[in-house]
């Protein structure tokens, strides 16, 4: 396994991040525990979850995923100590006022609830799941600073923020002599490159590690033309997107076949070649998904010519404003 620093911190994390969103809704607890054990065996030390995970599929109860992870930690064997644990706050956790978003009250209650479910006394990386335009940054940072003082949170990150949000958050944190954001978790893959305009430059400027979610585009980049009749790839929305992008996908899958590599592995490898990227999130539902293309991605080194070809198939963005101005 390869390791890197999370943004400007001294925290070392694996170049692949284990996403746990399927634990509960699609993957039962025994299988989830086996996948986490295998991830540690493979050297993956970076695990990502969220307080709202579990609120769909078979479990259909928010908090289920954190509870599954907590019971895995409770088995001991150094599991908690070996894991850099990331979870999130923002989502609606109840019907009562202040059970969602980023008020100081909700941040306090949500953090303490996550700690109970996770059966731990601290969170390594506490991520804001979305921007809250109705709560001032002074209030948010005051709440986060308190959690850091109490030892309940070590680092703070963001998810789904714009470049302006990252700049605003870290400038206000700087005024308070607080470390501020150290990571951003964004939608990013070959077919979704909009964050190259401003989010990636902001991450680079402020020293944030970038953690791409949905690195395969929900299966779009995983050899979808051969698997149109399988699972989520057969959904109406996915079928529509396949037809809209069929020429690109045909070129993409031919490119991967010429390399002799699985499309999923190449898609992950491409992300690992991009600036600011710390670790794409892989969200296996099964053991095979963990041990297959994800690990192979670490071994694939793309040449300048290959990267240029991928840019031709899936055009990206220049840094703003040059992309749209002189």
Antiparallel, parallel or unpaired: β 84-89 and 123-128: parallel
DSSP string, 106-131: HHHHHHHHHHHHHT-S-EEEEEESS-
HSE at residue 212, side-chain half, CA atoms within 13 A, is 32
Upper half-sphere CA count for residue 227 (Cβ side, 13 Å)? 16
Largest interatomic CA distance in the chain: 59
For this structure, is 206 an active site residue? Answer: no
Q: Which DSSP string do the residues of 21-84 spell out, in sequence order?
A: TTBTTTB-HHHHHHHHHHHHHHT--EEE--TTTTSSTTT-STTHHHHHHHHHHTT-TTHHHH-E
Active-site pick, 3, 5, 53, 122: 53
Task: Report how far residue 191's alpha carbon sits from residue 216's, in angstroms, rounded to the nearest whole number.
Answer: 9
Active site residues: 53
């Amino acid at each position: 396994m390869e390791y890197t620093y999370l943004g400007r911190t001294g925290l070392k994390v694996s170049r692949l991040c284990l996403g746990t969103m399927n634990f509960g809704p699609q993957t039962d607890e025994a299988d989830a525990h086996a996948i986490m054990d295998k991830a540690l065996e493979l050297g993956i030390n970076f695990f990502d979850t969220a307080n709202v995970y579990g609120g769909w599929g078979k479990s259909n109860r928010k908090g289920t995923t954190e509870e599954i992870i907590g019971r895995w930690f409770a088995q001991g064997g150094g599991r908690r100590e070996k894991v850099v644990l990331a979870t999130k706050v923002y989502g609606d956790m109840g019907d009562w006022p202040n059970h969602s978003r980023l008020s100081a009250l909700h941040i306090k209650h949500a953090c303490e609830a996550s700690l109970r479910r996770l059966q731990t006394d601290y969170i390594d990386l506490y991520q804001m799941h979305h921007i809250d335009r109705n709560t001032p940054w002074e209030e948010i940072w005051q709440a986060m600073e308190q959690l850091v003082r109490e030892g309940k949170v070590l680092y703070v990150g963001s998810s789904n923020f714009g470049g302006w949000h990252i700049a605003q958050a870290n400038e206000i944190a700087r005024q308070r002599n607080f470390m501020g954001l150290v990571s951003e978790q964004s939608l990013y893959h070959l077919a979704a490159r909009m964050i190259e305009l401003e989010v990636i430059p902001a991450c680079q400027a402020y020293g944030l590690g970038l953690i791409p979610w949905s690195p395969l585009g929900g299966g779009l980049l995983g050899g979808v033309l051969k698997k149109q009749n399988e699972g989520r790839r057969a959904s109406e929305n996915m079928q529509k997107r396949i037809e809209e992008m069929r020429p690109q996908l045909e070129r993409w899958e031919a490119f991967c076949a010429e390399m002799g590599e699985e499309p999923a592995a190449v898609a992950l490898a491409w992300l690992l070649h991009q600036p600011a990227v710390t670790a794409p999130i892989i969200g296996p539902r099964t053991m095979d998904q963990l041990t297959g293309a994800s690990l192979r991605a670490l071994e694939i080194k793309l040449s300048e010519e290959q990267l240029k070809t991928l840019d031709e198939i899936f055009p990206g963005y220049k840094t703003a404003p040059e992309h749209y101005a002189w």
